[in-house]
Amino acid sequence: MTASEATLLRTAAELVACTPGAHPEGDPAAPAGTPTPGAGRAVVMTMGALHEGHASLIQTARAVIGPAGQVVVTVFVNPLQFGEAADLDRYPRTLDADLAVAGAAGADVVFAPSVDEVYPGGEPQVRISAGPMGERLEGASRPGHFDGMLTVVAKLLHLTRPDVAFFGQKDAQQLALIRRMVRDLNFPVEIVGVETVREPDGLALSSRNRFLDPHERHTALALSRALFAARDRLAAQQALHARAQTAGATEGRAAGLTRLGEARLAADAQAVARARPDGGPAAVRAAARAILDDAEAEQPPLALDYVALVDPADFTEIPDDRTAGDAILAVAARVGTTRLIDNIPLTFGATA
Q: What is the pLDDT of residues 64-110, one digit of tens each?
A: 999 999 999 999 999 999 877 778 888 889 999 999 999 999 999 99
Which pLDDT band, with edges at 50, 70 and 90, does 284 fall under?
very high
pLDDT in tens, 322-334: 878 999 999 999 9
Q: How far is the CA of 276 from the CAs of 244, 259, 324, 327, 346, in angstroms?
A: 10, 25, 11, 17, 16
Does pLDDT of 249 surpass 70? no
Q: Where is pLDDT greater, at 66 or 271? A: 66
How many Cα atoms are found within 13 Å in the side-chain-facing hemisphere of 324?
Answer: 3
- The predicted model scores a pTM of 0.83
Q: What is the pLDDT of residue 35?
A: 41
Exposed/middle/buried for 202, CB within 10 Å: 0-12, 13-18, 19+? middle
Q: What is the pLDDT of residue 48?
A: 95
Q: Per the residue annotation, which of 54, 145, 158, 215 is the catalytic one?
A: 54
Q: What is the pLDDT of residue 247?
A: 54
Average pLDDT, the chain: 86
Tell me the average pLDDT across 261-286. 64
Do β-strands 325-335 and 190-194 pair in parallel, antiparallel, or remain unpaired?
Answer: unpaired
pLDDT in tens, 150-205: 999 999 999 999 999 999 999 999 999 999 999 999 999 999 999 999 999 999 99
Q: What is the pLDDT of residue 21?
A: 46
Cα separation, 294 vs 265, in Å, equals 31
Catalytic (active site) residue 145: no
Does pLDDT of 126 surpass 80? yes
What percentage of the chain carries pLDDT values higher than 70? Answer: 80
* Eight-class DSSP state of 317: B
Q: Where is pLDDT greater, at 7 or 36? A: 7
How many Cα atoms are found within 13 Å in the side-chain-facing hemisphere of 117?
Answer: 13
Among residues 12, 44, 41, which one has the least CA distance to residue 114? 12
Enumerate the β-bridge partners of residue 344: 329
Does pLDDT of 261 surpass 80? no
**Phi, psi dihedrals of residue 325, rounded to the nearest 5°:** 115, 170
Cα separation, 334 vs 289, in Å, equals 15
Question: Is the preceding omega at residue 200 within 30 degrees of 0, hence cis?
Answer: no
Q: Which region, left, alpha or beta, applies to residue 334 given φ > 0 means left and ψ of -120 to 50 means alpha? A: beta
